[in-house]
Amino acid sequence: MNTADFDFDLPEELIAQVPLEKRDSSKLLILDREKHSMVDSHFDHIIDQLHPGDALVMNNTRVLPARLYGYKPETNGHVELLLLKNTQGDQWEVLAKPAKRLKVGTTVAFGDGRLTATIVEELEHGGRIVEFTYDGIFLEVLESLGEMPLPPYIHEKLEDRERYQTVYAKENGSAAAPTAGLHFTQELLEKIEAKGVKLVYLTLHVGLGTFRPVSVQNVDEHEMHSEFYNLTAEAAQTLNQVKENGGRIVAVGTTSIRTLETIGNKFDGRLEADSGWTNIFIKPGYTFRIVDAFSTNFHLPKSTLVMLVSAFAGREFTLEAYKHAVEERYRFFSFGDAMFIQ
């Protein structure tokens, strides 16, 4: 299986630069694997695809304003840090620019100096472990000084940061939003619940590796990044009951899919309370054990996410759907339109 097998032509103007203000007015392409059918719709009609007794599973992670612009006090040299993960206490793994000037022991200051970072370890690829010093509560300091990390293909920035979060974002820790969830409004979720669909939340903290294109030719050689996930006992119990009663598990986005499948593989097709790191790579040939249907956005050519969709819907059908989406001028990537596959 070659990376080139998942390539398609995408005009750059179809890359959405900002999420729509009216979240559920995005377009929705509805795919049916068995009938091999495609229907153009709008996102608020997703409710028609959900049945009483189904469960809708969403990732409630919250994006941290993880991009920090600082300076070295002794030289005033400009430094940029991107927070990747909290390793312990006030220590974080970060990507640093310009990395070569940041040796162990170097201090970087941010804002008026109320946040400083000291380099404690050098990693490869410009990575560093830093220890932060600050007054008060770290997340509050970060909220006031940091900026939202946006994918490399996004060149426009919104003032209103909440538009980059899902309406149910709760658990701090992502470097990027689980973007399939951006289409839901509180009202739409209430209507879905009123229809008899269970709303279930899990957490997967999205890492920046999500944006990395596959750089190897042979798909099997690609190394997935690890991301932290958590599923509560209550959520696991609800989902097992839904399955037992003949309902479907409908996942919102690839992060929910990867969490559910990771846990399902670990516990032989059932779900249990679990947390840990996953680097699951779902590609054609994979057998889904938990997820029966899902919504997701339109992804980058040659990305692991197009491969995940192909594993569920079949590569040819997926690329056919993508070709249709390009012809119909759907908006692509993180802030674009959505598809629903069953």
Nearest to 322 by CA among 300, 293, 342: 300
Model pLDDT, residue 210: 67
Host H or E run for residue 254: helix 253-266
**Pairing relation of β-strands 61-63 and 249-252?**
unpaired
Tokens standing for residue 221:
């050689």
Q: Which of 145, 180, 199 is the last residue of a domain?
A: 145
Residue 153 lies in a domain: no
| CA atoms of 342 and 337, how far apart (whole Å) | 17
Model pLDDT, residue 249: 98
Q: Which amino acid is located at 54 in the chain?
A: D
Do the Cβ atoms of 288 and 260 come closer than 8 Å? no
The CATH number of the domain where 98 resides is what? 2.40.10.240
The pTM (predicted TM-score) of the whole model is: 0.90
Question: Within a 10 A sphere around the Cβ of 223, how many other Cβ atoms?
Answer: 12
Model pLDDT, residue 311: 98
Q: Does residue 191 sit in the same domain as residue 165?
A: yes
Structural domain tally of the chain?
2
Site of tokens 């002794």: 74
Model pLDDT, residue 223: 83
Residue 152 lies in a domain: no
Q: Does residue 194 sit in the same domain as residue 290?
A: yes
| CA atoms of 312 and 26, how far apart (whole Å) | 23
Percent helix, strand, coil in the chain (nearest 5)?
30, 30, 40
Q: Does residue 96 sit in the same domain as residue 171?
A: no
Q: What is the mean pLDDT of each run of 10 residues along the chain (342 residues)?
A: 94 94 96 97 98 98 93 92 90 89 94 94 88 95 91 84 94 89 98 98 86 80 88 98 98 97 97 96 97 96 95 98 98 96 98
Model pLDDT, residue 211: 61
CA 302 distance to own-chain centroid:
17
Q: Which of 145, 178, 207 is the last residue of a domain?
A: 145
Do the Cβ atoms of 307 and 284 come closer than 8 Å? yes
Residue 11 lies in a domain: yes
Q: Does residue 188 sit in the same domain as residue 320?
A: yes
Model pLDDT, residue 55: 98
Q: Does residue 86 sit in the same domain as residue 140?
A: yes
| CA atoms of 278 and 204, how far apart (whole Å) | 9
Residue 204 lies in a domain: yes
Q: Which of 87, 118, 145 is the last residue of a domain?
A: 145
Residue 51 lies in a domain: yes
Q: Does residue 174 sit in the same domain as residue 114?
A: no
Residue 150 lies in a domain: no
| CA atoms of 308 and 213, how far apart (whole Å) | 14
Q: Does residue 335 sit in the same domain as residue 247?
A: yes
- The range of the structural domain enclosing residue 324 comes to 3-63+160-341
Q: Does residue 94 sit in the same domain as residue 50?
A: no
| CA atoms of 127 and 277, how far apart (whole Å) | 19
Q: Does residue 187 sit in the same domain as residue 275?
A: yes
Residue 151 lies in a domain: no
Nearest to 342 by CA among 10, 134, 56: 56
Q: Does residue 185 sit in the same domain as residue 222?
A: yes
The helix/strand/coil state of 94 is: strand
Q: Does residue 90 sit in the same domain as residue 29?
A: no
The CATH number of the domain where 269 resides is what? 3.40.1780.10
Cis bond upstream, residue 151 (ω within 30):
no
| CA atoms of 77 and 103, how far apart (whole Å) | 14
**Pairing relation of β-strands 78-88 and 91-97?**
antiparallel
Residue 174 lies in a domain: yes
- Nearest-10 crossing angle of helices 304-313, 315-327: 110
Model pLDDT, residue 215: 80
Model pLDDT, residue 84: 84
Q: Does residue 226 sit in the same domain as residue 288?
A: yes
Model pLDDT, residue 99: 84
